[in-house]
Each structure stands twice: as structure tokens, then as C-alpha cells.
Amino acid sequence: MSINGSFLLQLHGEIDLARSGELAALVNDFAATDARRAVIDLSEVTFCDSQGVSFFVRMQAIARYRDGDVTLINTPCAVQNLLRITKLTERFRYEDHMFLPS
């Protein structure tokens, strides 16, 4: 969904190799819009591995090309730790206690 120049999406469950096709489709969906920002709600994510990290980086590459950014909202501690370990924390914006419109 795209609102006011932002591409909004909510991920849930496990973000891993089994979902690589779905993640690639979401990247393509973002690329097909003219949105400069991506806002990704992670409040319902229970697991994230390198596929999730790769997804975030690909989304960020598109946003940066458009002079935009990626905001991760309601980011679980496990995802924050993964981004910290991979030294990617500073590439993203973060918001807590924020919810996407239904």
C-alpha cells in the first residue's frame, strides 16, 4: 500500500529463506511505485535471518536512490540485535508504538 509518498507494509511470522520469493515480490512492488520511503511494521515478526536483512537492504537501496529512507517500526529485539551484529543499525530509521492504517 502506498500513502503520501510512503510504501507501507506489515511483515509477520518468520522472515527466512522459505519466504524469499514473497520478499522479492515486495521489493519489486516497492520498485514499481514512485514512493520515496518505505515503512515496514515488524511488530508481528517472530524470526528473522539473513533473508530478512537482505530484504531490508534492498528496500533501502531503492529508497536511497530516490532520496528517501526506510523506517522499521515496532522492531523486535531479535531483529534489532541482528541489525546491530551485521553493523546495519544506522542505515534505517526506527519508530516504536506506531501502527499502520488497516
Picking from 42, 52, 45, 46, the residue whose alpha carbon sits closest to that of residue 19 is: 52
Which sign, positive or negative, has the C-alpha torsion 54, 57, 62, 65?
negative
Q: Any idea what DSSP says for residue 2?
A: E
Q: Any idea what DSSP says for residue 69?
A: -
Q: Any idea what DSSP says for residue 42?
A: E
In a domain, 101, yes or no: no
In a domain, 102, yes or no: no
Q: Which cell numbers in the block locate residue 27?
A: 521489493
Q: Domain total for the chain?
A: 1
pTM passes above 0.85: yes
pLDDT tens-digit series, residues 5-62: 899 999 999 999 999 999 999 999 999 999 999 999 999 999 999 999 999 999 999 9
**CATH code of the domain covering residue 71:** 3.30.750.24
Host domain of residue 43: 2-95
In a domain, 100, yes or no: no
